Amino acid sequence: MQENGKEFNHQEENIPSLEELNRELKEQLKKEEPERKRLKMQADCGIFKRLVISSIGARYLKNFDDKLIREKKELDKRIDEMFATGKGIILFGDVGVGKTMDLVYISLRIFESLIGAEIKVKDLLANSEGDIFYEGLHIPVSYYFMPTLFNKLHFGEKIDFEKFVLLDDWGREYAEPFALSRFEILVEEIYASENSLIITTNLTKEQFINRDGWARVTDRAREICSVLEIPGESMRHK
């Protein structure tokens, strides 16, 4: 073949073959994989951080230290059981013993189970400094402070819940009859959906079981949850 009076040879143009292009692309993707994983981890950590801050609270995440978790070994057993069977957890304990901090830890364990890696909170906070937009990870956790939840129930608001439902400070709510009846329905929906219920309460076991008007709810909660007592005195003033 001739072009402008000269013979034109395609081989002299060094046009790469399709196989060569595919090989180069795979090599490039392999080089970029660590950075992609780092960015995704950073984004996932950001999603978890926003979840905890918007629900449980920024102070609990900032002050979190798993070394301060009491009965950590037993709590880990209950969490593993929850992952395996769906059985929830009732955390009994006095004021200030770290039950809400336990909810942060439980949420962290759920997050770790989703991403398949262990995360230290200090690393999590560092990894999520850049607020990267990424909507690929869904963390199936719903958190409700019981007084706030009952206020919503009182005014007939719709209550959505995820696979893991965290109810903090059971016993502090104002449980007027309409709100309590709606709460009974909510607990039955959680039961029917085979979702996991995690409860914290300052009530003793006896108080929890024997509350007037709560027999149906507490009986169901005891059926679908294991129990863990958190001992000790308040850590808030040390």
What tens-digit pLDDT sequence spans the chain (238 residues)? 445 555 555 555 678 787 877 777 777 767 767 777 777 777 888 888 889 999 999 999 988 988 989 999 999 999 999 999 999 999 999 999 999 999 999 999 999 999 888 877 766 766 554 444 455 689 999 999 999 999 999 999 999 999 999 999 999 999 999 999 999 999 999 999 999 999 999 999 999 999 999 999 999 999 999 999 999 998 887 6
Tell me if 156 sits within 8 A of 183, measured CB to CB. Answer: no
CATH number of 31-230, picked from 3.40.50.300, 3.40.50.720, 3.40.1160.10, 3.40.1260.10:
3.40.50.300
What distances in angstroms separate CA 196 from CA 41, 74, 172, 177, one per listed residue?
26, 18, 21, 25
136 Rama sector, left if φ>0, alpha if ψ -120 to 50, beta otherwise: alpha
CA–CA gap between residue 73 and residue 102 (Å, rounded): 12
φ, ψ for residue 205, nearest 5 deg: -60, -45
Q: Which of 101, 93, 141, 145 shows the shortest CA–CA distance to 121?
A: 101
Q: Within 10 A of 194 (CB to CB), how many other CB atoms are there?
A: 10
Q: What is the dihedral of CA 222, 173, 144, 84, to 10 degrees?
A: -10
Q: How many CA atoms lie within 13 A of 136 on its CB side?
A: 11
Q: b vs e for 142-173, b when ≥16 Cβ sit within 10 Å of the residue's Cβ?
A: bbbbbeebbeebbeeeeeebebbbbbbbbbeb
Total-model pTM? 0.83
